[in-house]
């Protein structure tokens, strides 16, 4: 399959490397030192049980790639406003756009510009980050869930699922992708907000009873917002989500890493979205409102210290 990965950072780089190794025609769209390193030495992926290097097309210009069958949209949500229109050169008559971003709003943002019929909402479950330019380190093995908004299955979705599975990526085709997005959103918004505010990774933070209780309260707020919006979510989602987090290896989520390094963050798409959508549906969100207020001063990054 001819694929363009829009944003070859932790998530896009990990998936792009695995897809390219399986023989797909992959173009990585990225920039700066990361792009230069990939062009010079290939893209290196470090996993728990293997390391691989793939040689594949890399560019900072979608126009150099042209129309593809599949666009993996894996940039940070904070860049959506500037980037979405730029991917139009990748779109042809049979192109699908699979968004695997954090949050629950990006598929609507893409659909408003590109047409909702070509967009597939999805979630990436895993943890991978740029270790150094041209090098991606995977901490939690990649898993994908996605689906059609208006129908349980389609030929294109089945083909995409097959392509991911043949690349060694565990993939679920969901009949309810909105539930998928919200299940992840409820976990990530709480975990990212709390670990960023506490400057502590999730495994350690969960060992403190008061912090654990606050994480659960934050998830309950996001769950209430989702239910009020009409999303089909299980009532015991908070309990099962905490059990899921307890089983995870120790790792740092991307928003916490961005705050620690003084980079712009996805706060608006996480705690900010819980607060914003909560107001729309009449649900109070005091914990996420607090997290948003505390983290807001450095949402757009910090200038380096002198």
Pick the last residue of a domain from 159, 175, 191.
175
Instruction: Assess contact for 220 and 226: CB atoms under 8 A.
Output: no
Residue 305 lies in a domain: no
Give me the phi and psi of 6, to 5 degrees please. -90, 95
Are 187 and 216 contained in the same domain?
Answer: yes
Q: Same domain, yes or no, for 146 and 207?
A: no
Q: Are 120 and 157 in contact (CB under 8 A)?
A: yes
Give domain status of residue 112, yes or no. yes
Q: Is residue 122 part of a domain?
A: yes
Question: For the residues 118-141, what does the mean pLDDT come to?
Answer: 94
Kindly state whether residues 14 and 123 are assigned to the same domain.
yes
Task: Confirm whether 303 is domain-assigned.
Answer: no
DSSP string of 42-76, one letter each residue: -EEEE-SS-EEEE--EEES-HHHH---SEEEE-S-
Per-residue pLDDT tens for 248-261?
Answer: 877 788 899 999 99
Establish if 13 belongs to a structural domain. yes
- Alpha-carbon distance of 16 to 35, in angstroms, equals 14
pLDDT tens sequence across 167-199: 999 999 999 999 999 999 999 999 999 999 999
Q: Are residues 135 and 229 in the same domain?
A: no
CA separation for the pair 212, 210 (Å, rounded): 5
Q: Give the domain-ending residue among 146, 175, 204.
A: 175
135 and 198 assigned to the same domain: no
DSSP state of 121: E
CATH number, position 23 = 3.40.50.720
Is the predicted pLDDT of residue 159 greater than 60, yes or no?
Answer: yes
For residue 57, what pLDDT band results from cuts at 50, 70 and 90?
A: very high
Tell me the pLDDT of the chain averaged across its residues.
Answer: 94
Confidence of residue 306 (pLDDT cuts 50, 70, 90): very low
pLDDT of residue 32: 96
pLDDT at 251: 78
Q: Is residue 304 part of a domain?
A: no
The reported pLDDT for the residue numbered 128 is 92
Residue range(s) defining the domain that contains residue 220 = 178-298
Do 8 and 142 reside in the same domain of the chain? yes
The CATH number given to whatever domain includes residue 196 is: 1.10.1040.10
Average pLDDT over residues 107-128: 95
Q: What is the pLDDT, as a whole number, of residue 150?
A: 81
274 with 133, same domain: the answer is: no
- 120 and 193 housed in the same domain: no
141 and 24 in a common domain: yes
Q: What is the pLDDT of residue 253?
A: 87
Q: For residue 303, what pLDDT band results from cuts at 50, 70 and 90?
A: low
306 domain-assigned: no
Claim to verify: residue 164 and residue 193 sit in the same structural domain:
no
Tell me whether residue 213 is exposed, middle or buried, using C-beta atoms within 10 angstroms of its C-beta: 0 to 12, 13 to 18, 19 or more.
Answer: exposed
Among residues 175, 209, 237, the one where a domain terminates is 175
Quick one: 221 and 247 in the same domain? Answer: yes
Counted domains in the chain: 2
d(Cα 16, Cα 19) in Å, to the nearest integer? 5
Helix axes 237-247 and 177-198, enclosed angle (nearest 10):
60
Q: Does residue 49 sit in the same domain as residue 171?
A: yes
DSSP 78: G
Is 130 domain-assigned? yes
């Amino acid at each position: 399959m001819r694929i363009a990965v829009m944003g070859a950072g932790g998530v896009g780089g990990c998936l792009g490397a695995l897809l390219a190794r399986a023989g797909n025609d992959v173009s990585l769209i990225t920039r700066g030192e990361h792009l230069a390193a990939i062009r010079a030495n290939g893209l290196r992926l470090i996993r728990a049980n293997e390391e691989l290097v793939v040689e594949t097309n890399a560019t900072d210009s979608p126009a150099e790639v042209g129309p593809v069958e599949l666009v993996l949209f894996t940039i940070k949500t904070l860049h959506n406003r500037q980037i979405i229109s730029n991917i139009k050169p990748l779109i042809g008559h049979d192109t699908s756009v699979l968004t695997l971003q954090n949050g629950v709003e990006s598929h609507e943002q893409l659909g408003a510009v590109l047409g909702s019929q070509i967009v597939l909402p999805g979630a990436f479950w895993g943890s991978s980050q740029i270790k150094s330019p041209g090098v991606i380190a995977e901490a939690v093995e990649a898993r994908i869930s996605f689906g059609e908004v208006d129908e349980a299955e389609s030929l294109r979705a089945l083909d995409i699922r097959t392509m991911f599975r043949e690349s060694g990526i565990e993939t679920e085709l969901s009949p309810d992708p909105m539930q998928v997005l919200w299940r992840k959103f409820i976990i990530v918004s709480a975990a990212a907000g709390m670990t960023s505010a506490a400057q502590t990774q999730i495994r350690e933070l969960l060992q403190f009873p008061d912090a654990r209780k606050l994480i659960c309260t934050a998830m309950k707020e996001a769950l209430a917002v989702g239910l009020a919006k009409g999303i089909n979510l299980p009532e015991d989602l908070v309990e099962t989500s905490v059990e899921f987090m307890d089983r995870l290896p120790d790792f740092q989520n991307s928003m916490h890493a961005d705050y620690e390094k003084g980079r712009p963050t996805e706060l608006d798409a996480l705690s900010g979205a819980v607060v914003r959508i909560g107001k729309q549906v009449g649900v109070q969100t005091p914990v996420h409102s607090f997290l948003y207020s505390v983290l807001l001063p450095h949402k757009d990054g910090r200038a380096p210290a002198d």
